[in-house]
A and B are shown apart, each in its own frame.
Chain A
């Protein structure tokens, strides 16, 4: 019985698979690269589809030919001829080696062009807005140099090029706003860059994708893409003093809601990125004083989940 079952189901494997891939390629995505908002994420999506399609000439013959061979040449009931000593064909060799080499050459050229065009270090337009970023244990600091600093919230004007300068304290993290652009590591003692252009008005979520401990699921931030006027208003908001941010930042493991502060003194971010343990302003290192208590983290996770639940319920009404 089981043999029958497997022979029957073999015919179904390919259609099932194609149907499956059609479903996931059709894009039911919400916070992923398959529903891009900015041109950088859009390019990533295009490359994904282009590469997938370019792989088909090499792979489809296998995906179709293999089941066909398995059926045709099966010992019992198959209809194929039997050539037990056939083991070489110069033509087949040339087609196989040649064909796959040509595909890889084409893909190689595409990779070279894509990688250089979409270099995250390359500005995506003239005079991008500069935002300095510090990733820390389960919170993100954003600095608009000379203007203001915010925690877990970055506000950007629509359709505008932006350059993020990124560093971290503590563990390595990965800075990622999937609907605007790809990710790049945020590392203590290092500086990395991520360029992107914002798209239409949107409220997005950015996050850290590199596991970094007990509150990793909370390690995310809001990204608001707003009109130019709203952006200007955001920068004019009343704020708290910078020192308060610094004290708080090292004290708490997870941040309760976004908050707005004065910008740090000029050059602070550079110092912080060069030496995260020593980056001080009035003697205050930005690394946390003590390991956070598990209880507080559990509480924070609980609060966060409660909050999102309420939000989604509110949205449904």
Chain B
């Protein structure tokens, strides 16, 4: 075996195009080219602008939970652009005259990367990022319980994403879908490096996610402000806690299943092969034992976001707090009892299918309760349609439709007729686009000022909402229809002429979604350009209710100057009702914050290089890197000089500074909420005195 393992010239992205020129290989070469040129452009920009040093000291080496969260969200944004572009290419492929411009396998690579990216490198980083930014601020903590581990999690996820991007340039990704069922993904039927890309990029991000889960759960258990009992916790913290527990338990089966698949492929094991006692059904079981809780990992944080956005923009207390808490816990528990519904068609007995079908529908109870609770929160409120609120309302309406088809699919008999069809594809997009993306978009629009100190542009935000909303309906309602007409999923071309008009509508929808995404890029661009007029230094730009809005925007590195005592569920609302505009300080004491360190980044990058070695069967490189990784963690563990002190005096000075800003900022009425008059401290003039 050569030192470069299975790597050879044909793996370089432009070589296949020169060997066999076709539209399909040209698109593959162009995609690789975009990645290479994009990376080069970033390098040039950083060098020309002299941003290397600030990037390194402020971001790459940071252990600040807010900055780590921001990097997660930036990662998700980059990957979302790729995922949406892939979706547009696939829609275009299906409306072109058969067999289209993509080869069957290239199309398969697209739907495989689309799914893998959207779940693991868009959805997960979005929610982990948002939790990182917001959750500690909501519970009165100064950081995560394990700040260094947080950095390791982050950079492992970035490493996994980098591998998926690398597959465009070197070699190729797998073609078996994001679920990668063997035996198709076994070494016999998928001999190239594609499946190994899937295994190792998921392994990296999976370890990162498990560590994040531990971090979130322990932070919530140990770092809550004094007086904040579990039942006084904000709902977003509750959904984070449940998500964290799901992460801890659910990521393990995935790691196990993909490790077993790796052993099958390269070490001659027979876990999932058809011969020598292997059985592929075990993979389906393990995968969905992860995969179904994963669905609720994705959706619970968004439920948390809605539980804050809706009360804030309804000017009203959250309806049914206790109900929402128990509904969240119930969903988390039940999510481990339904995984078989992903393969009702695998030949198990009718009784088993029926039990899992009923368990699945049971989840509909707490979920339905939540939607009603949000509706009752709006009822008798005063609704303001900010971008965040629009995304929340759009979610509720659309999600219910997905719920209807979800309960339909929970019936095994209906599943027999809709499994592997575009009806199913429409269903899960109907859950995840409103349920996850809209939730995260709402959360980002809502909490953005905490991280950056300025609001996002409302005009482009609302445009992006309408384009996403309309785009969603146009894209996926036709897929429901042709799914029922018998169109299977993952088909490179559909020849039945009856499908064509529906596919055309779907294509238009995909373009609308792309326009929505473009609006969001413009929104960020415009907001950064106009940041002076969007600044909210006094904090609380939306007449907010949670503890996080008692802080100035952007929130300083130490978060709270003093940790408040909590006596109720909405301490900030109560403080405002008592006429306060700054939380009363408790006791100023010296605090310790972790120093910046490059070690998290280095450890994860070493792991990524090692994973790359394993993908191309350079076993020596894999072994070397993974040993190096453990040595580095060991070195870090013996580092005693890792804290810096912020003195009580500094904190007091910061408190006085913030108080001064607040006292010199004029009150803003709700009418001026979305104008440049909003420098923070928005209040309802009609009720407040």
Give me the interface of A with B, judged by CB distance under 8 Å: 2-3, 5-6, 9, 13, 17, 20, 23-24, 27-34, 41, 43-45, 47-48, 51-52, 55, 58-59, 62-63, 65-67, 69-70, 73-75, 78, 80-89, 92-93, 96-97, 100-101, 103-104, 107-108, 110-112, 114-116, 118-122, 169-172, 174, 176, 178-179, 181-185, 187-193, 207, 209-217, 275-278, 291, 294, 297-298, 301-302, 305, 308, 312
Contacts and interface: CB of A to CB of B under 8 A. Distances in A.
A32 B315 contact: no
A6 B400 contact: no
B416 A120 contact: yes
B345 A84 contact: no
B486 A43 contact: no
B275 to A, nearest CB: 4
Contacts of A89: 376
A13 B470 CA distance: 10
Interface residue tally on B, bucketed by range: 35 or more
Contact of B321 (A59, A87, A192, A215): A87
A216 B407 contact: no
B365 A97 contact: yes
B490 A216 contact: yes
B369 A183 contact: no
B76 to A, nearest CB: 26
A218 to B, nearest CB: 9
A211 B176 contact: yes
30 contacts: A2-B462, A6-B462, A6-B466, A20-B473, A24-B481, A28-B498, A29-B498, A48-B408, A51-B408, A58-B364, A73-B378, A74-B382, A75-B384, A83-B380, A87-B321, A100-B365, A100-B369, A104-B362, A115-B412, A116-B350, A121-B347, A172-B280, A183-B420, A184-B416, A210-B181, A213-B104, A213-B175, A276-B275, A277-B274, A312-B497
Contact of B184 (A181, A212, A305): A212
B333 to A, nearest CB: 16
B417 A108 contact: no
Contacts of B377: 87
Given A6-B462, A13-B397, A211-B108, 9 more contacts: A24-B480, A29-B485, A34-B485, A62-B400, A80-B379, A84-B315, A86-B319, A122-B350, A170-B184
B128 interface: no
Contact of B498 (A30, A78, A80, A84): A30
A11 to B, nearest CB: 13
B315 A82 contact: yes
A210 B364 CA distance: 28
A209 B485 contact: no
A118 B345 CA distance: 13
A28 B485 CA distance: 7
B372 interface: yes
B484 A34 contact: yes
B627 interface: no
B183 interface: yes
A75 B423 CA distance: 39
A68 to B, nearest CB: 10
B489 to A, nearest CB: 7
Interface in B153-191: 175-177, 181-184, 188-189, 191
A50 to B, nearest CB: 9
A221 B548 CA distance: 61
Interface in B473-501: 473, 477, 480-481, 483-493, 495-498
A17 B398 CA distance: 10
B99 interface: yes
Contacts of A302: 99
Contact of A171 (B183, B350, B371, B375): B183
Contacts of B481: 23-24, 28
B98 A107 contact: no
Contacts of A171: 183-184, 189
Contact of A214 (B105, B346, B375): B105
Contact of B485 (A13, A31, A43, A118): A31
B419 A183 contact: yes
A55 B486 contact: no
Contacts of B381: 73, 80, 82, 84
Contacts of B466: 2, 5-6, 9
B411 A115 contact: yes
Nearest to A168: B274
A115 B364 CA distance: 19
B529 interface: no
A311 B191 CA distance: 37
Interface stretch (B44-52, B219-227, B351-359, B613-621): B351-359
B316 interface: yes
B365 A33 contact: no
Nearest to A291: B191
Contacts of B410: 111
B316 A86 contact: yes
A178 B488 CA distance: 10
Contacts of B371: 62
Contacts of A114: 411-413
B383 interface: yes
A276 B274 contact: yes
Contacts of B415: 182
Nearest to B350: A119
B558 interface: no
B337 interface: no
B397 A63 contact: yes
Interface in B56-73: none
A291 B490 CA distance: 21
A280 B647 CA distance: 80
Nearest to A107: B361
A108 B383 contact: no
Contacts of A122: 350
Given A51-B414, A70-B378, A24 B104 contact: no
A73 B319 CA distance: 15
B518 to A, nearest CB: 16
A193 B385 contact: no
B2 interface: no
B573 to A, nearest CB: 9
Interface in B271-293: 274-275, 278-281
The 6 A-B pairs with the shortest beta carbon distances in the complex, nearest first, are A182-B416, A32-B486, A188-B274, A209-B420, A31-B486, A119-B350
Contacts of A191: 347
A186 to B, nearest CB: 10
A315 to B, nearest CB: 11
Contacts of A120: 416
Nearest to A115: B354
B418 interface: yes
B407 A107 contact: yes
A215 B319 CA distance: 54
Contact of B412 (A78, A101, A108, A111): A111
Contact of A93 (B176, B323, B375): B323
B396 interface: yes
Contacts of B493: 217
Contacts of B463: 2
Given A80-B380, A100-B365, A114-B413, A217 B491 contact: yes
B640 interface: no
Given A216-B491, A276-B274, A84 B316 contact: yes
B419 A174 contact: yes
B414 A87 contact: no
A96 B380 contact: no
Interface in B421-467: 421, 459, 462-463, 466
B275 A172 contact: no
B390 to A, nearest CB: 8
Contacts of A297: 104
Given A59-B403, A75-B382, A278-B275, A115 B345 contact: no
Contacts of B320: 87-88, 92-93
B679 to A, nearest CB: 21
Contacts of A170: 183-184, 188-189
Contact of B317 (A87, A101, A104): A87
